């Protein structure tokens, strides 16, 4: 395989004795970002971007972790390792490993558009590119963020006029902060679920700022919820936690809302297409701009995307991983984080 091999524990560089986003315990792990499917517990030592570390420690507890800034390089046994922005969530990185004969980039999860929070994606030249393909179908074509956020603002305004609480569901790390950074906070009060509250606090330790929010506790005056916006993880849907907000309407912000019937299947009142992953055109753009002749598609529509790339003259193949992409939004456990 060369500099990088695909093992039962994850992507492995034998020359440097490091794994990238391993899904089983290893001695040394390079982490692309702090989402649970890429940053798992049990590693003896981690290397990650400084903005990932507070969230990793919040979720994993006290860990041994070395910070690596964007464009900073380290050399391990003749392998140069450099982190570059991935634009996915705060601290997310593409990781480049290179020696005298090969250069590999592991994308992790990424998006090309600027979300107002995360450091924007940078194209990185390489000969081998391991790319996610969560939304690797032509039907996935995202509208500009400003248009989506305008629609969310209008939905909140209409609900507030009717005296209804607006429940917006989105992943507690990444999606929630993106919404906060772009929502019109002058519309009304914003309350957050405990999972989002604790994640925001972790990110504040890394220097991020967000509009004023209030943690929903048992002591919060329920009359204040009328007309307010409540940010919560998707797993809050259907839970007893929602009862305190009646009457309310629910919405989900996810790339999967682009699928016909997805909103109905999630049992929400409204769906907004907002993803922290690249759509079809940006997946293709990222591959082209990498200059890689060898491409490895992981999680999502990997088979379709690899077949398409092969048709364009590239050498593409599917690599099976334990990554979930935006599917992890569905399974985020309410019990795993404090309300």
**Residues 61-107: tens digit of each pLDDT:** 999 999 999 999 999 999 999 999 999 999 999 999 999 999 999 99
The whole-angstrom separation of Cα 139 and Cα 223 is 42
Rg (the chain; Cα; Å)? 20
The per-residue pLDDT of the chain, averaged, comes to: 93
Question: What percent of the chain is helix, strand and coil (3-state, nearest 5)?
Answer: 30, 25, 45
| Confidence at 116, pLDDT banded by 50, 70, 90 | very high
Between 335 and 170, whose confidence is greater? 170
The structure's pTM equals 0.93
Residues of the chain with CATH 3.60.15.10: 5-140+276-336
| Confidence at 212, pLDDT banded by 50, 70, 90 | very high
Give the percent of the chain with pLDDT over 70. 94
Residues of the chain with CATH 3.40.50.10890: 145-272
Please list, residue by residue across 22-58, b when 16 or more beta carbons sit within 10 angstroms of its beta carbon and e when fewer do.
Answer: bbeebebbbbbbbbbbbbbeebeebbbbbbbbbbbbb
Mean pLDDT value across residues 1-11: 93
Mean pLDDT value across residues 315-323: 93
User: Quick one: fold of 5-140+276-336?
Assistant: Metallo-beta-lactamase; Chain A (3.60.15)
Q: Which residues pair with 95 in a beta bridge?
A: 83, 106
Does the domain at residues 145-272 carry the CATH identifier 3.40.50.10890? yes
Reduce the DSSP state of residue 60 to 3 states and report it.
helix
- Express each pLDDT in 235-268 by its tens digit: 999 899 999 999 999 999 999 998 876 665 668 9
């Amino acid at each position: 395989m060369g500099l990088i091999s695909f093992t039962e524990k994850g992507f492995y560089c034998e020359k440097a004795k490091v794994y990238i986003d391993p899904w089983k315990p290893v001695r040394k792990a390079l982490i692309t970002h702090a989402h649970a499917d890429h940053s798992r517990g049990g590693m003896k030592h981690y290397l990650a971007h400084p903005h990932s570390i507070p969230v990793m420690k919040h979720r994993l507890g006290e860990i041994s972790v070395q910070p690596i800034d964007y464009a900073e390089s380290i050399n391990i046994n003749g392998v140069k390792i450099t982190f570059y922005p991935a634009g996915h969530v705060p601290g997310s990185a593409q990781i480049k490993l290179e020696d005298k004969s090969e250069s590999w980039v592991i994308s992790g999860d990424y998006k090309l558009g600027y979300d107002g929070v995360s450091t924007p994606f940078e194209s990185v030249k390489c000969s081998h590119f391991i790319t996610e393909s969560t939304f690797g179908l032509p039907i996935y074509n995202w509208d500009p963020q400003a248009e989506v956020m305008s629609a969310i603002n209008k939905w909140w305004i209409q609900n507030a006029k009717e005296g209804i609480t607006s429940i917006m569901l989105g992943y507690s790390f990444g999606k929630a902060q993106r919404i906060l950074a772009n929502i019109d906070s002058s519309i009304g009060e914003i309350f957050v679920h405990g999972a989002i509250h604790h994640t925001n606090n972790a990110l504040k330790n890394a220097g991020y700022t967000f509009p004023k929010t209030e943690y929903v506790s048992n002591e919060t005056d329920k009359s204040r919820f009328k007309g307010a916006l409540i940010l919560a993880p998707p797993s809050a849907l259907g839970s007893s936690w929602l009862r305190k907000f009646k009457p309310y309407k629910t919405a989900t912000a996810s790339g999967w809302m682009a699928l016909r019937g997805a909103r109905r299947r999630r049992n929400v009142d409204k769906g907004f297409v907002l993803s922290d992953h690249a759509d079809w055109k940006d997946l293709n753009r990222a591959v082209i701009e990498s200059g890689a002749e060898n491409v490895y598609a992981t999680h999502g529509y990997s088979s379709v995307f690899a077949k398409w790339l092969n048709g364009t003259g590239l050498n593409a193949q599917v690599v099976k991983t334990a990554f979930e992409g935006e599917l992890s939004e569905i399974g985020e456990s309410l019990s795993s984080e404090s309300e």
